Structure 1
Amino acid sequence: MQYIRLGSSDLNVSRICMGCMGFGDPTKGQHSWTLGETESREIIRHGLEQGINFYDTAIAYQLGSSERYVGRALREMAKRDEVVVATKFLPRTAQQLADGVSGRRAITLSLDQSLHNLGMDYIDLYICHIWDYNTPVLEIMEALHHAIRAGKVRAIGISNCHAWQLAKANALAEREGLTPFVSVQSHYNLIMREDERELFGLCAEDNIALTPYSALASGRLSRPGEIQTRRAQEDDYAKGKYDKTAHQDQIIINCVAELAGQYQVSMTEVSLAWLLTKVSAPVVGATKRHHVDGAVKAVDLQLNDDEILYLEECYQPHALSGIMAQNTPQTKDQTQVWTR
C-alpha cells in the first residue's frame, strides 16, 4: 500500500479509501443489499490487513448502522491514531427548517450523533454530504470551525458540489479566519469525467485532495458484461447514473477489458490504476474480499501514457447525473436528494 497526505491537512491516508456504504443493517434505510455486521467486519479486517487505513461512511447510510458497524470494527481491530475515519452530515431537514433549528445547531446534533454511532472521541475528516442551499455557507463554515476548535474534528471536506461552491466556501473561510475544506468527494471515474472541466483545476491550484466516489461506476468498470449482482438489480439510483449513457460507455469498458487481458489482471485494477493517476485516494466500495484485493493491487499497476490515452480518447461529454443533477437551489427538502 502507498500513502499520501490528504490535501493541506495533516492526515496521512492510504491511496485506497474503503467506502462503507455497503455496510449496515439491511433491514434499515434505503438499501436491502448491504452487509450485516459480521460480514462487514470481515471486509474491514481484510482491508486493515492489506494496509488500508482510510474508511469513509456517513450518518445517512442505513440509518446510522454503517457508522456503528465501522466504529465497532475499527475500535476493536486498530489503534485509533493509525486509522483515518471520514463520515458525512446532511443539510437541514424540512422539519428542522420548520422548527427554526439553526445550521450550526443541526451540524452539532449530527456530529454528536455520528461520534456516538462510531464510539469515538473525534472524527478525522468530517464531510458536508451535499451543498446546503437553505443555510448560508458562512454559517456552515463557522460551525465546522467550532467543531475543530472543540477537538471533535481534525479536518473538513465536502462532497457533491460545483467548483464555484467549493471556491466560495474556502474564500469565505480564508477571509473570516476559519478552517477551509481540504478535500472534495465527487462523482468521477473513467466513464464520468465532467469534473475535469473546472473542479480539477481548482483542486490542483489550492492543494485540495480529490477522493471521488463511484470509482468503478457501480461495478460497470469491473466486469465486461451485464451486472448480475443484487445491488445492480435493486439500486435504481445507480441505474439512473449510468443507463442513459450505457452504449457510449461500453466502448470505454471494452478498452478496460482489453488492457486487463493484456496485463492478465482484473478490470478493477486497470480502472483504478487509471484513476490513481488523477486523484489522491478514490473511495472504493467493497462487499467481498476480492473487491479489496483488486483495489489494493491497482496501487502497484503502472499504466504508460499511451495506455492512459487509449482509455480516455473515446470519452464523450456527459450530463450531470445522480445527486449532482438534483443539486440546485430549487431543492427544498434535501433529505430526498442524498440517496447515494
Structure 2
Amino acid sequence: MSAGKLTYNYLSKNCGLKVSSICLGTMTFGESKGGGRPGQCDEALAHQILDRYVAWGGNFIDTANMYQEGQSETMIGTWLKKREDRDKLIIATKVRVSMDSSDPNCEGLSRKHIIWSVEESLRRLQTDYIDLYQIHAWDEGTPIKETFSALNDLVKSGKIRYVGVSNVTGWQLQKILDLQDRMGWEACVTVQNQYNLLCRETELEVVEVCKNEGLGMLPWSPLKGGWLSGKFKRDTAASGDTRVGWVSEKESSRRAQSHPSFQQYQDNEKVWNLIDKVESIGKAHEKSVAQVSLKWLLQKPTVTSVIIGAKNLQQLDDNLGAGTDWKLTDSEMNKCNDLTEPGVQYPYIDVKNRNKSRRREDAN
C-alpha cells in the first residue's frame, strides 16, 4: 500500500491542532443531479477511499454542504457511524451556497442561514461537532459582522471548534481578521483558496496575509483539475473519462477554475515545458508528476495541508505519496518557481523590489 506514513503539521501558527500533510477532499463523493461528471464515487467506494486514507495516517477530511447536494457529507456520516475514532479525525465543511432554491434565505452568510446549515451538516455527518467550519466564499449580501458574530457564537456553543475561510481576496481576509481582533471573537485559523503551479496569484496578497497573521493555507485544486497529474500530452486530446476531457466535450470555450478544458492550455508552451520539467524532477526522486506538484505546494510558506481528491484507490495512493517524508531540493523548487512566476504588475512588483532588504525572514 504505502511506502510510509503521512507527516503532520500544525493547522496554523495560531492553533495547536495537528493535521496530516494531505487532506482528503470529498467533492468526488456522490453524483450531482445533472450527472455525467466522470470519476464520481458511490458510497461503497467512498468508504473504501476513506478507510485507505486513514490507513496512511490521514486524519483531515474536507467536504462542503453543497457537494452533490449534501451527498458527500452524508457518505462521510455513514462512514463515521461505523467507526469508534471520531475524536481522532478532523472534519471540515463549508457554508454559503444555496441548498434550497425555493427559499431566498437559504443562501449566503446570514446568521439564519449559517445556524440552519450547521444543524443540517451535523445531521448529515452524524456527529456532535465540526472541527473546522469555513465560509465557502465572501458574501456581499451580508455584513461580515453578522457572519462572524454567528460563527463566534457557534464556537462558544461547542458545535464548531475552529473557523476558516475559503475563496477570499487579500483585502477581504484582512478585513475579517481585523474585525475579529477588534471584537475579541474567535479568529480564523485557515484559508482555503485555489493554489497550484498554474495558479500562483494567491501568493500576491492572500499568502502574504497568512504569513503576517499566522494563518494556515489549505490549497484546493492542487493539480489544477488534473492538468498537473502528468496524464495529458501535447499531441493527444484529453479523453472524455477525465475531468479535463469531459469539460472539453461539453463546452470547448469553458474556462472553469476547478475544471479547465484541454483547449485552455493546449497551445500554451509554458505549461507543457512546466510539465516536462516536473516529470524530469519526478524521475530523479522516483515520484510521479502529481507527487512533485503536490510536494512543491507542501514546501511553500504557510501551506499546512494540501487538499486532494480521488476517484479510485490507485489515484489516492499516488497522491498520498506526496505527503510522506521526502523533499524537493532548493534547486528543484526554484526551477518550478521560475517556470511559473506570475506576471506581477504594479503595485506588487514595486512593493516587492522596495522591500528586498527589509524582509524579516531574510534578516540576520
Q: Same fold (TM over 0.5)?
A: yes
Give me the whole-angstrom Cα distance separating, in 2, the residues matched to 1:73 and 1:31.
25
Match of 2:351 in 1: none
Give me the whole-angstrom Cα distance separating, in 1, the residues matched to 2:262 and 2:330.
27
Match of 2:342 in 1: 317
Is the 2:137–2:168 Cα contact (8 Å) retained in structure 1? yes
Mean Cα displacement is larger for which, 26-35 or 187-196?
26-35
1:294 matched to 2:313? The reply is no
1:269 matched to 2:281? The reply is no
Counterparts of 1:200-211 in structure 2, within 5 Å, are 200-211=207-218
Match of 1:28 in 2: 33
Q: CA 1:313 to 1:165, structure 2 compared with 1: closer, same or farther past 3 Å?
A: same
Match of 1:151 in 2: 158
Mean Cα displacement is larger for which, 262-271 or 85-94?
85-94
- Cα displacement string for residues 257-282 of structure 1 (whole angstroms, at most 9, x for unaligned residues): 11112222211211111110011101
3-state SS of the aligned residue for 2:340? coil
Mean Cα displacement is larger for which, 238-247 or 166-175?
238-247
Shift of residue 48, structure 1, vs aligned partner: 0.5
Match of 1:138 in 2: 145
Counterparts of 1:59-138 in structure 2, within 5 Å, are 59-91=65-97, 96-97=103-104, 103-138=110-145
1:244 matched to 2:264? The reply is yes
CA-atom RMSD in angstroms: 2.4
Mean Cα displacement is larger for which, 71-80 or 202-211?
71-80
Shift of residue 71, structure 1, vs aligned partner: 1.8
Mean Cα displacement is larger for which, 232-241 or 133-142?
232-241
Query: Structure 1 vs Structure 2: percent identity of aligned residues?
Result: 33
Q: 2:10 aligns with which of 5, 12, 19?
A: 5
TM-score norm. by structure 2 comes to 0.81
1:259 matched to 2:281? The reply is yes
Mean Cα displacement is larger for which, 128-137 or 4-13?
4-13
Give me the whole-angstrom Cα distance separating, in 2, the residues matched to 1:251 and 1:100.
42
- Cα displacement string for residues 84-107 of structure 1 (whole angstroms, at most 9, x for unaligned residues): 000001156886547999810110
Give me the whole-angstrom Cα distance separating, in 2, the residues matched to 1:184 and 1:176.
20
Q: What residue identity is the alignment partner of 2:93? A: T
Is the 1:224–1:253 Cα contact (8 Å) retained in structure 2? no
Q: CA 1:304 to 1:94, structure 2 compared with 1: closer, same or farther past 3 Å?
A: same
1:283 matched to 2:307? The reply is yes
Is the 2:105–2:113 Cα contact (8 Å) retained in structure 1? no
Task: Give structure 2 stretches of 5+ with no counterpart.
Answer: 1-5, 248-253, 345-364
Mean Cα displacement is larger for which, 259-268 or 12-21?
259-268
Is the 1:160–1:186 Cα contact (8 Å) retained in structure 2? yes
3-state SS of the aligned residue for 2:308? strand
Match of 1:219 in 2: 226
TM-score norm. by structure 1 comes to 0.87
Structure possessing the higher radius of gyration over alpha carbons: 2
Is the 1:91–1:131 Cα contact (8 Å) retained in structure 2? no
Shift of residue 308, structure 1, vs aligned partner: 0.6
1:234 matched to 2:240? The reply is no
Task: Give structure 1 stretches of 5+ with no counterpart.
Answer: 320-340
Match of 1:308 in 2: 333
Shift of residue 4, structure 1, vs aligned partner: 1.3
Match of 1:326 in 2: none
Aligned length: 318
